[in-house]
Amino acid sequence: MSLNKLEQIELEFEILIQKDRRNWLRVAKLLDQIESQQLYKLRSRSFTEYVKGLAQKNRINISTLWRARSGAKLYLEILEMNHLDELDESIVKTTPEQLETFSKVRTIAPTKIVEDVKEKMLKGENMRHELKELWQIYRPLKGGKTERGRKKEDPVVITDKKNKSQFVLPYQLKDTVRNENVQKNTVDTYWQDLKKMEKYQLSSENLARANILNALRSEQWIARTLNVDFSSNHEHLVSFVIQQPSKEIDVLSLARPEKNYKKRPIIIGSEIITALSSFKSQKQRIMTKALFCDYFYLAIPMNEEYIQKAESFSKDTNLGIICIGDHLANDTKHICKIHSLSTLQEPDLNYEYIIMQKVMERLLGWN
C-alpha cells in the first residue's frame, strides 16, 4: 500500500516537473509527504539520498528541490502556520529564490525594512531585485567587528515613554546615528534591532554607512539633480573602483534623463562620510574622485555638525550635500534629503574615457 502511494506521488512529481515546474509549493508538499510518512525508506537509506535520486531521475538540479522545501518552511513561519497542507498554492505569489534571499536579509537588516519586504512579498510583489540590493548593502555588516582593544564607552539609556521602558545600548551611539524614531517603533521591533547590533558588534559608523547606501538607492535625489520628472533608466554601482582602491567612489550612479542614445549617461558620484575627521583627512582624495563625474555629492548623516562641516568643505566647489536620516521613508529606503544641489562640471576627455571604460568593465563583471 505504501509503495503504491509513493509511486503515485512520484508520478505527480514527474508531471509537475514537466508541465508545472513553477508550482514549487506543490513540490514541497510532495517532498514533505515522502519525508513525514517515511516513504523514502522504500527506495533509499536516507531522505537526502532519496531526494538526490529523485533529482537525477527527473534531470533537475537537487538544489531546486531543497530550495522549494526550505522556502515552504520559511513561508509557513512567516504566516505563523504549522503544516504545509494549510497553504494554498493558488495564493502563494513569491518564489523560493526570493524567500531564500529574504531569510538572509532578515538576519541583519533593520526590522522595519524586513517587515516591509515581508508584506510586499505576501502581496505578490516581485521583490527579487530589491532583496538583492538590500543583501548587498547590509551583508558586510555581518562581518564588521569592532576593533580589538577598543575602549568601552559609557552605555546609553533610551527611554520608551509610551511603554515606560528603558533600553541600554551595548555601546555609545553617536548623535549622528542615534535612532530618534524609537517611539514610533514597537518595543519588540527596536529590541530585535538591538540584538542584531550586539550580536555582530556593529560600530555606529558601519551601521550609518549601510543606512546611507540604502537611502541612495532612491531615484528621487537623481531626479532633483537633473531637474526632470524621472522615468528613465538609472543604475547605482556601489564601491566603484576607478584606478586603485584609493580612488574608489562609494556610489556611482548612471542616468539617462533624455532618450538621446548618442550621448553618454550622466555620471553622478557620491562619497559617504560617517566620521567628522574624514572632511580633513580625505579632502584631496574626494576632490580627485569628483573630477571623474558630472555631479558629485557628499552623503552624510542628517546632523547639524556634519552639515556645517560639509558646507565648509564644499564651499567654492561643485559638490552637493545629501543628508540621510535614521528612519525609513514610505518604503524600504531611509529618508534622503538634498541639502544643497551639486552643479554640473563635466569631466575632461581623459577622465571621461577612464570612467566609461571602468563602467563597461564593471557591468561585464571584469573587475
pLDDT at 82: 86
pLDDT at 189: 62
For residue 347, the 8-state DSSP code is P
Decide: helix, strand or coil at residue 215. helix
pLDDT at 333: 92
Query: Which residues lie closer than 8 Å to 283 by C-beta, 6 or more apart?
Result: 313
pLDDT at 184: 41
- Side-chain-side CA neighbours of 216 within 13 Å: the count stands at 31
Phi-psi domain of 105 (left: phi exceeds 0; alpha: psi -120 through 50; beta: other): alpha
Spans of the chain, pLDDT less than 50: 144-187, 245
Amino acid at 335: I
Q: Tell how far CA 81 is from the center of its chain.
A: 27
Q: What are the boundaries of each domain within the chain?
A: 2-135, 151-202, 211-363
The model's pTM = 0.76
| 96 in Cβ contact with 70 (< 8 Å) | yes
User: Residue 32: exposed, middle, or buried by beta-carbon count in 10 A (0-12, 13-18, 19+)?
Assistant: middle
Look up residue 269 and give its three cell numbers: 558620484
